A and B are shown apart, each in its own frame.
Chain A
Amino acid sequence: MTSVLIVDDHPSFRANARALLEAEGLEVVGEAEDGATALREVERLRPQVVLLDVQLPDIDGFEVASRLSANGGPRVILVSSHDVCDFGRLVAQSGAAGFIPKAELSGAAIAELLA
């Protein structure tokens, strides 16, 4: 079972995402509301996948993705309520495995990116 850490500053999204992913058989091992917490939780929980919001109150989601990828850490999937075309090449340059619009989040979409 794939372990997931959800990083987003909106509690309602974190709750809905956890329920959706767990319903689809993924294991949500933890949640973080900002970038700094996310980095600490990754160290502590060692998730296989980090579901990472682009717009965080402290550190930019792309920056967090770069740091995690540089350390050979978990696979990072960026999420946002914006469309991927709003970010240009930032997604590709961040080292993340891919991008899923928040409204289209699902276990299948994650599995497709990790395949």
Chain B
Amino acid sequence: MTRIQRYWPLVAASALLLAGIAGATGAVSTHQSLALTVLGPLAGLAFVAAGLVGWSLRPDNGTGRLLVVIGFVFLIFTTLWAANDSVLYTTGNAFGSIYLAIFAQLLLTYPAGRLRTRRERVAIVALYCVAAAAALVPTFFRAKDTSCLNCPHNAFLIYDSKQTADVLNAIFSIVGIVVFASLFVVLALRWRQATPARRRVLAPVYICGGASVLFLGLGFGVSFASSTAGGVFWALALTCFIALPFCFVGGLLRWRVSRAGMRMLEDAGSSEAEASLHRALRDPSLRLAYWFEDERAYIDARGEVLDPRAETSGRLTTEISDDGRPLAAIEYDSSLSHEPELLEEVLAATRLTLEKERALQVLRLGEARSRALLSVLPDAMIRTNRAGEYLEVQGNRSALVRPAEELLGLSIRDTLPPYLVELVLATIDRTLSTGKLQSLEYELEVEGVLRSFEARMIPSGPDEVVTVVRDFTFERQLREELTQRLGELEREQQFTRTVVSTAPVMLLLLDTAGRVVRFNRTCERLTGYPDDETVWDRNFWEVFVDEADHERAKEAIAAAAGHKPLGEQELHWRSRSGEELVVATRCTPILDGQGEWKIQLSGLDLTERERYLDELRASRSRIVEAGDAERRRLERNLHDGAQQRLVSLSLALRLAQARVATDPDGAVEILNGAGAELNAALEELRELARGLHPAVLADRGLEAALDSLAERATLPVDLEVDLDCRLPLAVEVAGFYVVAESLTNVAKYALATRALVRVVRENGNAVVEVRDDGIGGAEVDAGSGLHGLTDRLAVLDGRLEIDSPRGGGTVVRAIIPIPRGDDVSSAADVVSAG
């Protein structure tokens, strides 16, 4: 019971006494209206009663007190207004507006119950002054209220001047209207700025009180013009006035209703706690945030952090803790601070809920631990003596060789296989002799299934042990399967790693922005960049691509990142040492191990291929040029040689023909010369034919052809041919030209005294070697015809080696692979055509 509640009977009795006096006075009054006689005391009592309730529930709030004061003032003035005595009546009239000022104060201070700003205090003082002066001052100048013929005369009359009284009434009426209009504006502004929660508190009181003030103001304003109209407004104001404390009591009842919401909160789970708080405090903007120890922060259901120290306009935050340990924090509309009891009760309920929740969590944890404990409980417990006789057996059938009851009285020798008997007996001995726990693992067939067991023995007496048996067959199978899977995974990874690192293709992993994540060894080898943090996270094109192709590389990556890869394109890369690489580059989007999109960039180095192709083009060009040159040489030889000789022969024959009659001796001489010319022409034609294709080579083979060459050479040539059978024709032709060209060079440039030609078969190759004792210094590019030989051999995948130190002679060696099968004829055609 609060202190004020102890005085309730006294205050209530006083109020009832005053109400009775007011009623009695009104009943005998010559001028009091019946309405005021009845309603006036009721209104006073209503205010006193509501004020007492408010005062009791909110002792720190002035609202209740003001209501009680208004009630008593109203009861007093109702009595004075009804009095037939002129002094009492005039006093009532002269000060009868005071309660209006008190009422205005009640409205202005509700619900805080106190004036907050200096401006409000000044306004209230002004109100009191106006209320006091408005009725008192005109009273001095009016002898009698003409609208009330039965009213007592004016006891305070100083000078009877109806005109003065009317002017003063008009002035104070206008002032009153202005004052009350200002009050109305202030309240309207306060309503506009109020939060929804506060509006719910203000609404009933404002509506009822506002109407009351409005009607009072209107009655006050029009009373000087029409007492009837004024009376109507007064009656309306009074009605609203009586209803006003009930509005206040209604507000109090709403508090009580919210307690039902709190009970719901106590029953609600944590997921509904916030919603329950919304209902209990009627604040839908309320946030409930739980304390998270890991984050050291309050976090609400939406994952947002609630900082209790943050100051937000119109919001307040309260932390809820349990023995100093933070549980939760609630942020709510600041208007709720005017209902501290409600808030405190709700917070208490919330604390209780959270404590219950925590207890529940502890309980669940305990349950989980119990379950974990149960899962490792043994499958069997066996007590045996040193001899291995079963003394006590408990456990699952699956862990015992026979049902437990059958084992009693038997020995392990009767039930276990011999190898296990020895092992178990030895372990029992060891357990008893050491006194310490011993363990062993074994496999045993139980009910036709081979199972794995782990047994732990501890001494349980001077000559007996307890064996705790656990069946881990399932775990072992899982473990084995896991090991097998891990092995497969490891092999798979190893294979992938090997393939990736050794693939002849450069493989790079990029993120979707084109930054380097990793790349393989081939890329390291070809570009010279290490696969480490000096390259990772850098843009691919900036590291690897020639500046001229940056844009194309970016386009390819962007297209792959957008899942529309462009396909293969040749880009110019640049190695770390600045060497240019031609790389067939392809970007493909792939999902990595974490499920994120990446770009796999594969690059096939075409640089070697390009070089090879260049070499091939040059070689082909040289073959064509060599063919052209050879034809020019043949034409020249024919023209300058055999053709000229035949022309001369023709002329000589005609000359001889002309002279045969006149100068037979001269004709014979000419014919002799012509015969020699003809022989020379024939020899030259033969030589030419040999140059085109040595007939003896096709007919008699390489050795015979080389022998012919050696015979015709201008220097002594030794010939060593070591072949068990004939070579393919294409190889023979190539070998023949190597020797022919080399001997020509020896004759022209080497200044050699002799030469050695050697032909052997080695490792599937024909090796043709021409060695001289000349001055050396031969080079492939010196126009010696060796270039042509290189090309001729390249057609057969052969190669030419030249060792020609200056002053040390020259060795020209051709190594020609001997092809298998008969497909060499076409190659032979190619060679001979060149």
Contact = CB atoms under 8 A, between A and B. Distances in A.
Interface stretch (A14-22, A35-43, A88-96): A14-22
A16 B644 contact: no
A16 B639 contact: no
A105 interface: yes
Contacts, number: 43
B672 to A, nearest CB: 14
B660 to A, nearest CB: 12
A12 B677 contact: yes
A2 interface: no
Contacts of B670: 19
A23 B655 contact: yes
Contact of A12 (B639, B648, B659): B648
Contacts of A23: 655, 658-659
B494 interface: no
Given A55-B639, A81-B639, A103-B650, A16 B645 contact: no
Contacts of B499: none
Contacts of B646: 81, 103
Interface in A39-82: 55, 81-82
Interface residues of A, number: 16
A12 B650 CA distance: 12
Contact of A103 (B651, B658, B677): B651
Residue in A10, A55, A82, A103 with the greatest tally of chain B CB atoms within 10 Å: A103
Contacts of A106: 654
B376 interface: no
A44 to B, nearest CB: 26
Contact of B644 (A13, A24, A105): A13
Contacts of B652: 16
Contact of A19 (B640, B645, B655, B677): B655
B643 A16 contact: no
B647 interface: yes
B655 A13 contact: no
A85 B26 CA distance: 160
A81 B638 CA distance: 11
Interface residues of B, number: 17
A81 B643 contact: yes
Given A17-B651, A20-B651, A105-B651, A12 B658 contact: no
A16 B677 CA distance: 12
Interface in B777-808: none
B129 to A, nearest CB: 139
Interface string B206-232: 000000000000000000000000000
A115 B247 CA distance: 154
B651 A16 contact: yes
A13 B647 contact: yes
Nearest to B654: A20
B647 A103 contact: yes
Nearest to A106: B654
A17 B659 CA distance: 15
A71 to B, nearest CB: 29
Nearest to B658: A23
Contacts of A16: 648, 651-652, 655
A61 B658 CA distance: 30
Contacts of A55: 639
A98 to B, nearest CB: 18
A20 B648 contact: no
Contact of A10 (B644, B650, B658): B644
Contacts of A24: 658
A102 B647 CA distance: 6
Contacts of B658: 20, 23-24
A103 B654 CA distance: 10
A52 to B, nearest CB: 15
Contacts of A13: 644, 647-648, 651
Given A12-B645, A13-B647, A103-B650, 10 more contacts: A10-B644, A13-B648, A13-B651, A16-B652, A17-B651, A20-B651, A24-B658, A55-B639, A81-B639, A81-B644
5 contacts: A10-B648, A12-B645, A20-B658, A81-B639, A106-B654
10 closest pairs, A vs B, by CB? A16-B651, A103-B650, A102-B647, A12-B648, A81-B643, A81-B647, A10-B644, A16-B648, A20-B655, A103-B647
Interface of A: 10, 12-13, 16-17, 19-20, 23-24, 55, 81-82, 102-103, 105-106
Interface of B: 639-640, 643-648, 650-652, 654-655, 658-659, 670, 677
